[in-house]
Chain A
């Protein structure tokens, strides 16, 4: 083995976000390894947008994402469980309002 060559296992992990249609949000579709940002973007295009899904792709190094941990689940989210008044659900949405 050529010890000079770092394998893909040593490459950073990237998270991939694709926007499927104009006007909608980018959605997380998966992750991949790449040597740098440009390679990540091109690999994301090849791996995650094969069937005409995408109009825009974002990639971000997974290490740069700060996320909640499972241990924090209860203090973070449980208190909101009974607070129905926090959502504006007490009126009817007209039928012809899209994307609600």
Chain B
């Protein structure tokens, strides 16, 4: 990253460093001095890797992030505190960033996975995947799509999701697909923070007042039944794990159990049963009714203005 010399000396505020970097106004949307997570990464699909499986796998991990990002965005202007509002929006944007990279990878690996739009459509492939697929085409786990509930329930969902995703991403850093490895490397630091955030609130609320304890326990009852699905491997995940490009979710169960045990013991909350029979198989396109409503809201604007550019 090159910086103009004017940005270096005599900073009066930490934000002064953002002004006049490259003299580009877009810095206010994207910040300054950011690293491209795919800089220097060879984006060709490695020989021997099944492109259809790679695309399907990227859709799974991308849809998990996209759908939960949308759920977290629903907290905007509604969180209990301004600071939590900003924190949840940050987490949402982290996940949206991961989703963008993963959906773009899915489109590059297998263009047939992208919904067909008119040839002169201005919509990029990852946006077409996010905004022009119907619920049955989504491959996210149900945990990502269930409604927010109250702040306690949202914290528990984020805890379970982050514990699981962090375990997956840590192992995905060694993926045979260089793009998946780069996305995972970027995501590990992000999701580690999400996990810390959710774990702190879980313990704080569970050990807080009688009312916060009651709400946290009710949240656990609503969220825990969706835990087992996270560790039920889909054939695509198993084949990708076999090709050393993916991670079998069965493999991360002991590590997740250990982390959850630690947090939930501190919170004095019941543990989820990670080996229970799975109710919904989101990896196969099965979803709760909540997903259709979520997508209707997320996709309505883009679908109303398919030629819009943003």
Binding site for B on A (CB under 8 A): 2, 4-5, 8, 18-21, 24, 27, 29, 32-34, 38-39, 42-43, 46-47, 50-54, 98-100
Q: Which residues of B contact A19 (CB under 8 A)?
A: 14
Which residues of the other chain, A, contact B212 by a CB distance below 8 angstroms? Answer: 5
Contacts of A52 in B (CB 8 A): 31-34
Q: Say whether A43 contacts B83, CB under 8 Å.
A: yes
A33 CB contacts on chain B under 8 angstroms: 81, 83
Determine the chain B residues whose CB is within 8 A of the CB of A51 once the complex forms: 18, 31-32
The answer to whether B17 touches A4, judged by C-beta atoms less than 8 angstroms apart, is no
B9 within 8 A of A: yes
Residues of B within 8 A of A34 (CB): 83
Residues of A within 8 A of B10 (CB): 99
- Taking the closest CB of chain B, its distance from the CB of A19, in whole angstroms, is 7
Q: In chain B, residues 4-33, which have Cβ atoms closer than 8 Å to a Cβ of chain A?
A: 8-18, 31-33
Chain A residues positioned under 8 Å from B83 (CB to CB): 32-34, 43, 46-47
Chain A residues whose CB sits within 8 angstroms of the CB of B211 once the complex forms: 2, 4-5
Give which listed residue, A8, A42, A53, A99, contacts B197 with CB less than 8 A: A42
In the assembled complex, the CB of A33 is this many whole angstroms from the nearest CB of chain B, namely 8
Q: Which residue of B lies closest to A17 (CB)?
A: B14
B200 at the interface (CB under 8 A from A): yes
Task: Please measure, in the bound complex, the distance between the C-alpha atom of A51 and the C-alpha atom of B17, giving whole angstroms.
Answer: 11
Min distance, Cβ B143 to any Cβ of chain A, angstroms: 23
Residue pair B8, A54 in contact (C-beta under 8 Å): no
A22 to B100, CA, bound (A): 31
Using known A-B contacts A46-B90, A47-B83, determine if residue A27 contacts B13 with beta carbons closer than 8 Å. Answer: yes
Q: Given A8-B81, A52-B31, A99-B9, A21 and B86 touching (CB < 8 A)? A: no
Interchain CB contact (< 8 A) of A53 among B15, B82, B208: B15
Answer whether residue B210 sits at the interface, using C-beta atoms and an 8 A cutoff: yes
In the complex, how many angstroms separate the beta carbon of B202 from the nearest chain A beta carbon? Answer: 14
